[in-house]
Amino acid sequence: MQIKAPRGTYDILPPDTGKWQHVEAILKETAENFGYREIRTPIFEHTELFERGVGTSTDIVTKEMYTFRDKSSRSLTLRPENTASCARALIEHSIYSGILPAKWYYIGPMFRYDRPQTGRYRQFHQFGVEAFGSNNPYLDAEVIILLVEVLKRLGLNDYELHINSVACPRCREVYRKKLVEHIAPVKDKLCSDCQTRYEQNPLRVLDCKEDACHRAIAGYPTLFEHLCHDCARHYATVKEALKASHIVFQHDDNLVRGLDYYTNTAFEIHIPGIGAQSAVGGGGRYNGLVAECGGPDLPGIGFAMGIERLLLAVDTLAGGEANESKTDVFISIMNDAYEQQALELLTRLRLAGIRAEKDYMGRSGRAQMKYADKLGARLAIIIGEEEIAKGFYTLRDMRGKEQAKIGGQDIINSVKHRLATA
């Protein structure tokens, strides 16, 4: 039986890896620009971390975690997201007692045992940032500006930014009671997920994707109307900072993150041009998360973006990345007696920083030239009987086809010169 990649996983092959490298380079460069440094945490953690740091009532924890027991019967889970791991690392290494804020970014695979569907995988990839240690609303604005800047640098200018305040636990408790009163009479009209949400965490009913649920709860009281003085001021400052930075956004009452450790600013960014599943990233403040994970009472804010969706958006809307050549020079030999000379020249060129390639499949002279064209080589160096006898190389321009005889000592400089003037 042929062995295939497990359901919900996929291989990224060249030349597609080039697209990934291009997007990843922009993500990293933008984050570094904004003062964020890379953190790399383990792919798996103790299951309890995600139960505490993602929330036991979330779909992620109740339905989608890749949990297994190791040989010592410890319950481990492949990370479904990375914020909880960052909070764990912050606590474990006492980063909170060092220089704050701690500003981190990450990029890598995440795992959710979801029913695979178009564009959704069990192993998928996320880029995200976290800033721990400050409750300054201008930091919220910085994080949102970074999210928008990433899209701009990828050539994705048609986005919709939704923001809301999910308030502090105090004003949310008042609100929660009013919401329960509003939903109670129409409870039976909600989808089965929302029935459970209503019992465990009624705010998450607002988050439901089912139209029927939205119709049933129409006219519901909004969290925005119930912000306490501090929460209202925080939200107003974030919005003013965004306006002053020319970031276009819309207030969205439906944007809620039901868990207690999410506080104040929440945001989500959509690219409508990629279809129904248009959210490419989202995040917010999680001032209660570090304490929930067993650390001190330290505020934090961050976001995560799905790289698969970003790539889809870049491919369909930004015209993709030009399939650029990875080869400068191709060495063509007219006789396999010259393999050794070709290998030596190949190495000299490569040590000089020139991307050089040769044939390893025994192609004819003509087939080698076709192969050189396929690789996108700008130049070819031909080694034949006359070249060996008289001690020179034939350097051919693959576009204009003109050829020149170059002495062995001059070949590196000649190649460099031609590549620079191309």
From 130-138, 222-230, 245-253, 405-413, span contacting Zn ion (CB under 5 A): 222-230
356 and 383 Cβ atoms separated by less than 8 Å: no
376 and 327 Cβ atoms separated by less than 8 Å: yes
Question: Ramachandran region of residue 288, left (φ > 0), alpha (ψ -120 to 50) or beta?
Answer: alpha
The burial class, CB within 10 Å (0-12 / 13-18 / 19+), for 187 is middle
- The answer to the question of residue 216 lying near Zn ion (CB under 5 A) is no
**Closest CB 327 distance from Zn ion, rounded Å:** 54
- The answer to the question of residue 329 lying near Zn ion (CB under 5 A) is no
3-state class (DSSP) for residue 173: helix
List of E strands, 134-249: 160-165
Which residue, 19 or 214, has its beta carbon nearer to Zn ion?
214
As beta bridge partners, residue 164 has 266
- The answer to the question of residue 266 lying near Zn ion (CB under 5 A) is no
Spatial distance between the Cα atoms of 319 and 311, rounded to a whole number of angstroms = 11
Compute how many residues bind Zn ion; rule: CB under 5 A.
Answer: 10
Question: Among candidates 312, 314, 308, 313, which has minimal Cα distance to 122?
Answer: 308
310 and 154 Cβ atoms separated by less than 8 Å: yes
**Closest CB 193 distance from Zn ion, rounded Å:** 5
Which residue, 41 or 134, has its beta carbon nearer to Zn ion?
134
**Closest CB 269 distance from Zn ion, rounded Å:** 23
- The answer to the question of residue 206 lying near Zn ion (CB under 5 A) is no
Which residue, 231 or 255, has its beta carbon nearer to Zn ion?
231
Which residue, 215 or 399, has its beta carbon nearer to Zn ion?
215
**Closest CB 220 distance from Zn ion, rounded Å:** 13
Spatial distance between the Cα atoms of 130 and 82, rounded to a whole number of angstroms = 10
When binding is defined by CB under 5 A, the residue of 90, 107, 213, 369 that contacts Zn ion is 213
Which residue, 61 or 231, has its beta carbon nearer to Zn ion?
231
Which residue, 89 or 168, has its beta carbon nearer to Zn ion?
168
Which residue, 128 or 202, has its beta carbon nearer to Zn ion?
202
**Closest CB 233 distance from Zn ion, rounded Å:** 10
The C-alpha angle with vertex 209 and arms to 220 and 108, in degrees rounded to 5, equals: 125
- The answer to the question of residue 191 lying near Zn ion (CB under 5 A) is yes
Which residue, 228 or 354, has its beta carbon nearer to Zn ion?
228
- The answer to the question of residue 380 lying near Zn ion (CB under 5 A) is no
When binding is defined by CB under 5 A, the residue of 60, 186, 228, 279 that contacts Zn ion is 228
CA 73 to each of CA 62, 70, 386, 403: distance values in angstroms, whole numbers, following the listed order? 20, 5, 71, 69
From 173-181, 200-208, 302-310, 318-326, span contacting Zn ion (CB under 5 A): 200-208
- The answer to the question of residue 232 lying near Zn ion (CB under 5 A) is no
- The answer to the question of residue 217 lying near Zn ion (CB under 5 A) is no
Spatial distance between the Cα atoms of 387 and 403, rounded to a whole number of angstroms = 13
Spatial distance between the Cα atoms of 75 and 30, rounded to a whole number of angstroms = 37
Which residue, 205 or 305, has its beta carbon nearer to Zn ion?
205
The contact pattern for Zn ion, residues 149-188, with x = CB under 5 A and - = no contact, is: ------------------xx--x-----------------
The C-alpha angle with vertex 409 and arms to 408 and 415, in degrees rounded to 5, equals: 80
**Closest CB 261 distance from Zn ion, rounded Å:** 14
3-state class (DSSP) for residue 103: strand
68 and 96 Cβ atoms separated by less than 8 Å: no
As beta bridge partners, residue 23 has none
- The answer to the question of residue 194 lying near Zn ion (CB under 5 A) is yes
**Closest CB 142 distance from Zn ion, rounded Å:** 22
- The answer to the question of residue 210 lying near Zn ion (CB under 5 A) is yes
- The answer to the question of residue 146 lying near Zn ion (CB under 5 A) is no
Looking at this protein, which amino acid is placed at residue 281? G
Other CB atoms within 10 A of residue 213 CB: 22
- The answer to the question of residue 256 lying near Zn ion (CB under 5 A) is no
CA 22 to each of CA 14, 136, 198, 322: distance values in angstroms, whole numbers, following the listed order? 13, 33, 44, 10
- The answer to the question of residue 102 lying near Zn ion (CB under 5 A) is no
Residues found near Zn ion in the complex (CB under 5 A): 167-168, 171, 191, 194, 208, 210, 213, 228, 231
